[in-house]
Amino acid sequence: MGKGKLALDFTGRVVAITGASSGIGAATARMFSQLGACVALIDRDEKRLLNVMKDCFDIGYEPYALSADLLKTEEIECAAKKIRARFGCCDVLVNGAGIMPMSTLEKTSLDCLDLVFDANVRSMFYLTQQLLPEIISCCGCIVNVSSVCGIRAFPNLVAYNMSKAAVDHFTRSLALDLGPQGIRVNAVNPGVIRTNLLRTGGMGEEQYKELMERSKTTHALCRVGEPEEVASCICFLASPLASFITGVTMPVDGGKQVMCPY
């Protein structure tokens, strides 16, 4: 880092973000744009993705939007190929895409389990694998979006809990494998964040309101988090300020994982 250069200055650096059309992914895209990055936005919701792209463009930096369904192998390959062709490198990969269906073991079908692992684990694994040569070529870094559910299990989320535990171990495994090449790999583990993830996972509006209220008692800070609070941690982990941090699964959860009971 040159003299006088801000540690959170990402000017000219390429940041690829999955799940970029909403929630934590969208907030992360906007924040990296504010910090000068060239952001590659990846999501299957093209309409929302274009809205986030416009936000990033209005900040003053030209984003690159890629409509891709990460459940499909060929679309992962296509997204990686397009990033490679346009930028030739990838300084930061933020694996933020995921789903959160709510169900117990008795009510979770094998199809549902497969879907959760395809969306939350397999897609992350394969996109990272596809972009790894570009990440290595510029000594980049990887930040995975996990969950407090990767650290502690919560009821009615059996498949999601399992998938996020896998994300945490994926993070640690890559940190060990890629550390000798100078590649840092970390994860953030959000608590309850004010996004649409729970609603898209099947939670009704009344249930959602009840959870938001109940979360005042299940987080040490007595409130839920905002997407920007997770995004700021992602940017920190991707920055030179975290140059000696790897293999970390960092709770960004308002103290939820230290609360007992759940």
- Dist CA 165 CA 150 (whole Å): 4
Across the chain, where does the E strand assignment appear? 14-18, 38-43, 64-67, 92-95, 141-145, 184-190, 249-252
Spatial contact of 194 and 227, defined as CB atoms under 8 Å apart? yes
Other C-beta atoms lying within 10 Å of the C-beta of residue 247 = 16
Q: Of these residues, 64, 160, 208, 262, which one is catalytic?
A: 160
- Dist CA 191 CA 169 (whole Å): 18
Spatial contact of 138 and 235, defined as CB atoms under 8 Å apart? no
Annotated active-site residue 262? The verdict is: no
Helices (H), 140-251: 158-178, 197-200, 205-218, 227-238
Other C-beta atoms lying within 10 Å of the C-beta of residue 118 = 17
Residue from 135, 121, 136 nearest 169 by CA: 121
Spatial contact of 20 and 29, defined as CB atoms under 8 Å apart? yes
Q: Which residues are catalytic?
A: 160
